[in-house]
Amino acid sequence: MVLETIAKKLSLKPLYENMKIDIEINGIIASDILSDVMARAQKGDLWITNQTHVNVIAIIFFKGLCGAILPGGRELDNDAAEKAIEKGIPVFMSDLSAFDLAGQIYGMGIRE
Protein backbone atom coordinates (compact mmCIF):
# COMPACT_ATOMS: atom_id res chain seq x y z
CA MET A 1 0.00 0.00 0.00
CA VAL A 2 1.16 3.54 -0.70
CA LEU A 3 1.68 6.08 2.09
CA GLU A 4 -0.62 8.53 0.32
CA THR A 5 -3.52 6.06 0.59
CA ILE A 6 -3.07 5.66 4.33
CA ALA A 7 -2.75 9.42 4.81
CA LYS A 8 -6.02 10.04 2.96
CA LYS A 9 -7.99 7.22 4.59
CA LEU A 10 -6.94 8.29 8.09
CA SER A 11 -7.16 12.05 7.40
CA LEU A 12 -3.58 12.52 8.58
CA LYS A 13 -2.21 16.05 8.87
CA PRO A 14 1.13 16.45 7.04
CA LEU A 15 4.02 18.23 8.75
CA TYR A 16 4.74 20.24 5.59
CA GLU A 17 3.43 20.83 2.08
CA ASN A 18 4.55 18.80 -0.93
CA MET A 19 5.83 15.81 1.01
CA LYS A 20 6.78 12.85 -1.14
CA ILE A 21 4.05 10.39 -0.18
CA ASP A 22 3.88 8.09 -3.20
CA ILE A 23 6.05 5.68 -1.22
CA GLU A 24 5.24 1.99 -0.92
CA ILE A 25 4.88 0.88 2.71
CA ASN A 26 6.42 -2.48 3.56
CA GLY A 27 5.05 -2.68 7.10
CA ILE A 28 4.28 -0.84 10.31
CA ILE A 29 6.20 -0.53 13.54
CA ALA A 30 4.52 0.97 16.60
CA SER A 31 6.97 1.62 19.42
CA ASP A 32 8.27 4.43 21.58
CA ILE A 33 11.46 2.62 22.54
CA LEU A 34 14.12 3.87 20.15
CA SER A 35 16.39 0.84 20.60
CA ASP A 36 13.42 -1.41 19.76
CA VAL A 37 12.85 0.48 16.50
CA MET A 38 16.57 0.34 15.70
CA ALA A 39 16.57 -3.43 16.24
CA ARG A 40 13.24 -4.41 14.63
CA ALA A 41 12.21 -1.84 12.01
CA GLN A 42 12.72 -2.79 8.39
CA LYS A 43 13.45 -0.53 5.44
CA GLY A 44 10.18 0.92 4.15
CA ASP A 45 8.28 0.58 7.43
CA LEU A 46 5.99 3.34 8.65
CA TRP A 47 6.58 4.22 12.31
CA ILE A 48 3.83 5.11 14.78
CA THR A 49 5.48 6.89 17.72
CA ASN A 50 4.75 9.31 20.55
CA GLN A 51 8.35 10.50 20.45
CA THR A 52 8.72 14.04 19.08
CA HIS A 53 12.44 14.84 19.21
CA VAL A 54 15.13 14.95 16.55
CA ASN A 55 16.27 11.36 17.24
CA VAL A 56 13.04 10.17 15.60
CA ILE A 57 14.11 11.79 12.34
CA ALA A 58 17.63 10.38 12.65
CA ILE A 59 16.28 6.84 13.05
CA ILE A 60 13.85 7.21 10.14
CA PHE A 61 16.72 8.42 7.95
CA PHE A 62 19.25 5.83 9.18
CA LYS A 63 16.87 2.85 8.93
CA GLY A 64 15.30 3.92 5.61
CA LEU A 65 11.80 4.07 7.05
CA CYS A 66 9.13 5.66 4.87
CA GLY A 67 8.03 8.12 7.58
CA ALA A 68 6.22 8.50 10.88
CA ILE A 69 2.79 9.17 12.33
CA LEU A 70 2.52 11.02 15.63
CA PRO A 71 -0.69 10.02 17.45
CA GLY A 72 -2.79 11.81 20.03
CA GLY A 73 -2.38 15.30 18.57
CA ARG A 74 1.39 15.35 19.16
CA GLU A 75 3.69 17.48 17.01
CA LEU A 76 7.42 17.32 16.41
CA ASP A 77 9.56 19.76 18.36
CA ASN A 78 11.06 22.58 16.28
CA ASP A 79 14.49 20.98 15.75
CA ALA A 80 12.93 17.69 14.64
CA ALA A 81 10.48 19.44 12.32
CA GLU A 82 13.28 21.43 10.68
CA LYS A 83 15.36 18.26 10.19
CA ALA A 84 12.39 16.35 8.72
CA ILE A 85 11.77 19.14 6.22
CA GLU A 86 15.48 19.39 5.39
CA LYS A 87 15.76 15.63 4.77
CA GLY A 88 12.36 15.34 3.02
CA ILE A 89 11.06 12.83 5.57
CA PRO A 90 7.28 12.40 5.67
CA VAL A 91 5.79 13.00 9.11
CA PHE A 92 2.08 13.10 9.85
CA MET A 93 0.04 14.04 12.90
CA SER A 94 -3.23 12.47 13.99
CA ASP A 95 -5.70 13.00 16.81
CA LEU A 96 -6.22 9.22 16.88
CA SER A 97 -4.41 7.14 19.48
CA ALA A 98 -1.51 4.88 18.48
CA PHE A 99 -3.81 1.92 19.19
CA ASP A 100 -6.53 3.24 16.86
CA LEU A 101 -4.00 4.08 14.12
CA ALA A 102 -2.43 0.63 14.26
CA GLY A 103 -5.83 -1.04 14.25
CA GLN A 104 -7.12 0.93 11.29
CA ILE A 105 -3.94 0.35 9.30
CA TYR A 106 -4.18 -3.35 10.11
CA GLY A 107 -7.75 -3.24 8.83
CA MET A 108 -6.43 -1.84 5.55
CA GLY A 109 -4.48 -5.05 5.06
CA ILE A 110 -1.00 -4.16 6.31
CA ARG A 111 -0.17 -7.03 8.63
CA GLU A 112 3.49 -6.54 9.55
Q: What is the CA radius of gyration of the chain?
A: 12
- The whole-model pTM stands at 0.94
Closest CA to 47 of 36, 60, 58: 60
Q: Is 38 helix (H, G, I), strand (E, B) or coil?
A: helix
Residues 41 and 32 sit within 8 Å (Cβ to Cβ): no
Enter the DSSP assignment of 47: E
Residues 74 and 94 sit within 8 Å (Cβ to Cβ): no
Please list the pLDDT of the chain residue by residue as tens digits (112 residues): 999 999 999 999 999 999 999 999 999 999 999 999 999 999 999 999 999 999 999 999 999 999 999 999 999 999 999 999 999 999 999 999 999 999 999 999 987 7
Q: How far is it, in rounded angstroms, from Cα 37 to Cα 107? A: 22
CATH number of 3-107: 3.40.1390.20
What is the DSSP pairing of strand 27-30 with strand 45-48?
Answer: parallel
Q: Give the domain ranges of the chain.
A: 3-107
